[in-house]
Amino acid sequence: AQSVAQPEDQVNVAEGNPLTVKCTYSVSGNPYLFWYVQYPNRGLQFLLKYITGDNLVKGSYGFEAEFNKSQTSFHLKKPSALVSDSALYFCAVNAPPGNMLTFGGGTRLMVKP
């Protein structure tokens, strides 16, 4: 069975500072990893994915994530946080069959001016 852990319920960062939202996973075989963002009263928006290739993947809104196979991690990063980045972030892993996603519990990112 696959699982995803997001060890921090909330991350606080000042605007302009770099941010990191942590994610670790457990899955047999090669993982397909994803980050989604959810703004208040909205659905989930896809940010980025890792399928294969370069360990550093770039996504929407200036976000990037680093895949580390030895540490089974897929941390989300951004060099300079914006107040508008404040939202709920979910890490997910894909598990066949059926292309099903298993989600972490979510991390609330608060960016303060």
Partner 1 sequence: DAGITQSPRHKVTETGTPVTLRCHQTENHRYMYWYRQDPGHGLRLIHYSYGVKDTDKGEVSDGYSVSRSKTEDFLLTLESATSSQTSVYFCAISAVRQGALSHEQFFGPGTRLTVL
Note the residues at the interface with partner 1 (CB under 8 A). 4, 6, 32, 34, 36, 42-46, 49, 51, 90, 92, 94, 98-106
Q: Closer to partner 1 at the Cβ: 70 or 99?
A: 99
In the bound state with partner 1, the residue whose beta carbon lies nearer, of 52 and 70, is 52
Q: Which is nearer to partner 1, 36 or 67 (CB)?
A: 36
The smaller minimum CB distance to partner 1, of residues 49 and 77, is found at 49
Tell the smallest beta-carbon distance from residue 95 to partner 1 (Å): 10
d(CA 6, CA 33): 13
* CA separation for the pair 57, 43 (Å, rounded): 23
Name the DSSP letter for residue 41.
Answer: T
**What residues pair up with 76 in beta bridges, in sequence order?**
21, 65
Min. distance of Cβ 14 from partner 1 in angstroms?
A: 26
Phi, psi of 46 (to 5 degrees): -70, 130
Tokens of 8: 């921090």
Task: Say how many C-beta atoms besides its own lie within 10 A of residue 93's C-beta.
Answer: 22
Q: How far is the CB of 63 from partner 1 (least distance, A)?
A: 14
